[in-house]
Structure 1
């Protein structure tokens, strides 16, 4: 019995047992709680709970093992002289690990809430990045406070240094605050199709907003290239947002027929083609009724406009192409003439 008692009281045995117990607790947490919770959350309508579980599963497992390792090492007499430094190291690691868990969980909750709100559904990642940075700054202040570091001189130094940094990074800070302005004022959102006037060589930029970041906004053009535009330039530019107030947009196609044409017949044939395209093309709004309006006695033709409607602004090229092909084919069958420029010359005798 004395041998068993002395063995159980052995510091190395206690240290090893403590770490083994931490492994058991972490495994039980992973197997019993996480897997059971995943089964329960799969039956819910929202995927928020499952996302949070996926986020905290590994960090919490590591946190339990880390606490167990700390308690295990604290029982080793060989490390008594280093216990103060060990305490500091473990405190720093645990604070940042807990901050990581809180940051990831908060981002998931806020992202889910923003997605659930219609007007915030396309809010970019800038808000969650600011939240994460704020949490890590708070964690750093907690660590400095734990080590009894007087942060007043640090703040004074940062204040003086921030002036110099602000002057050196004036353009970067301008882009950052312009990004905050874009997020708050929301002239554009992620997923919007926009046209920005005269940015690249005086030419307009048109494309879909991919992301609004700290410094720049990424726009994917229709040729599938990415344009990285500084937020400051975007905020100061004239923006045509074709996705607001709604995605649907009208497409006007200019046409013309010769002066010999029967305009009633032209209107009937053109409207028939327009209705067929409007109902059968997947990019169009099938409930929209096309409109035809004659408006100009031109040099060679009587011109008119056909108004169609698409679900998204970027689909207007597809609609125009299909409509022009179908209309030309139908005019040929109906013997409706589209005249080219002609000039008549009269000679007086």
Structure 2
């Protein structure tokens, strides 16, 4: 009697429905345990971190797929849903393709990011490149779904063409920012991490180049959002290219009665001390001065120092001006304020 009861229970389609669901949940839990414990421990021992990231990417979608497949087969076991079989098959296909597209796009994003880090030319390529790859993958998934449901693509493209024209006119500014962002990436006037100056007095580090805008973090730690189209049309000073090192030029002037040889000697002595002691200055650089202008009250000259990175110039110039003023006072070198001599005719 017990055996007959078990056999009748197994043959019961609703019991089978629940059994398949529970089995898929248990299988998903087992797979998650294996991936999260055993394979993760193996991946940690490898030299590269790519396998760790890929394992983390596929673990959750794979478990979701197992539960989703279990739910699909459980529904297929119910005779009452047999007339909806085509719709259930279509839903399963769509879900499978979307989950696969999700995993593939994320894996490609990791591989592309790793490749960009190896290539020095593209070392600081922003997220936009990964987003473009993801869009291409999802577009391919969309076309696969259309092909599965035997939807004719040619008329759809014609409709999209007309609709796309309307959308392009409506989203003209958005699209111009998008293509400007792609142009910035391909031409590479700036990269993420560069210290730039833009027309209008905006300066700071490039945080990200997105679909619509570029984010610049200023020295006071505020974020400036610049539309890509505006950035592409602006005059940009990239202080990080071709190298981070740059000159720090300080303008100065001394009175006309000064001994210029002494001024040059004292100024270079102060500049050398600053180059060797102030953090951010290039310690091996030999500073120099160049006289260039007979001003209204002073003979003007430039002092050329050198710093390791753009933001270091502010500290170096600050310390140099303080040290130079103190040394000039000791040496009796005068920096004149504006003076006018007026002669009266007899």
What is the rounded CA distance, in whole Å, between the counterparts of 2:345 and 2:178 in structure 1? 74
Report the counterpart of residue 216 of structure 1 in structure 2.
213
What is the rounded CA distance, in whole Å, between the counterparts of 1:163 and 1:154 in structure 2? 14
Q: Which moved more, 1:31-40 or 1:243-252?
A: 31-40
Distance 1:257 1:2, change over 3 A: same
Distance 1:46 1:276, change over 3 A: farther
Report the counterpart of residue 130 of structure 2 in structure 1.
128
| Structural mapping, 1:1-349, within 5 Å | 1-197=3-199, 203-344=200-341
User: Residues 209-251 of structure 1: CA distance to partner in whole angstroms, max 9, x if unpaired?
Assistant: 2222222222233343333333222222322222111111101
What is the rounded CA distance, in whole Å, between the counterparts of 1:299 and 1:171 in structure 2? 50
User: Residues 133-163 of structure 1: CA distance to partner in whole angstroms, max 9, x if unpaired?
Assistant: 1211221221122122222221111112222
What is the rounded CA distance, in whole Å, between the counterparts of 1:346 and 1:180 in structure 2? 65
Q: Does the Cα contact within 8 Å between 2:275 and 2:283 map onto a contact in 1?
A: yes
What is the rounded CA distance, in whole Å, between the counterparts of 2:275 and 2:324 in structure 1? 13
What is the rounded CA distance, in whole Å, between the counterparts of 1:348 and 1:15 in structure 2? 115
Where does structure 2 lack aligned partners over 5 or more consecutive residues? Answer: none
Distance 1:289 1:45, change over 3 A: farther
Where does structure 1 lack aligned partners over 5 or more consecutive residues? Answer: 198-202
- Where 1:14 maps in the other structure, the secondary structure is helix
What is the rounded CA distance, in whole Å, between the counterparts of 2:123 and 2:189 in structure 1? 14
What is the rounded CA distance, in whole Å, between the counterparts of 1:88 and 1:345 in structure 2? 96
Q: Does the Cα contact within 8 Å between 2:247 and 2:306 map onto a contact in 1?
A: yes
- Where 1:194 maps in the other structure, the secondary structure is strand
Report the counterpart of residue 200 of structure 1 in structure 2.
none
Q: Deviation at 1:167?
A: 2.7
Q: Deviation at 1:117?
A: 1.3
Q: Deviation at 1:285?
A: 2.1
What is the rounded CA distance, in whole Å, between the counterparts of 1:291 and 1:42 in structure 2? 53
TM-score, structure 1 as length reference: 0.89
Q: Deviation at 1:280?
A: 2.4
Q: Deviation at 1:291?
A: 1.5
- Where 1:52 maps in the other structure, the secondary structure is helix
What is the rounded CA distance, in whole Å, between the counterparts of 2:277 and 2:314 in structure 1? 16
Q: Deviation at 1:344?
A: 4.8
- Where 2:70 maps in the other structure, the secondary structure is helix
Two-structure CA RMSD over aligned residues (Å): 2.4
Q: Which moved more, 1:149-158 or 1:14-23?
A: 14-23
Distance 1:299 1:160, change over 3 A: closer
Q: Deviation at 1:116?
A: 1.9
What is the rounded CA distance, in whole Å, between the counterparts of 1:276 and 1:193 in structure 2? 27
Q: Which moved more, 1:210-219 or 1:56-65?
A: 210-219
User: Residues 94-151 of structure 1: CA distance to partner in whole angstroms, max 9, x if unpaired?
Assistant: 2211111111111111112112211101112221111111211221221122122222
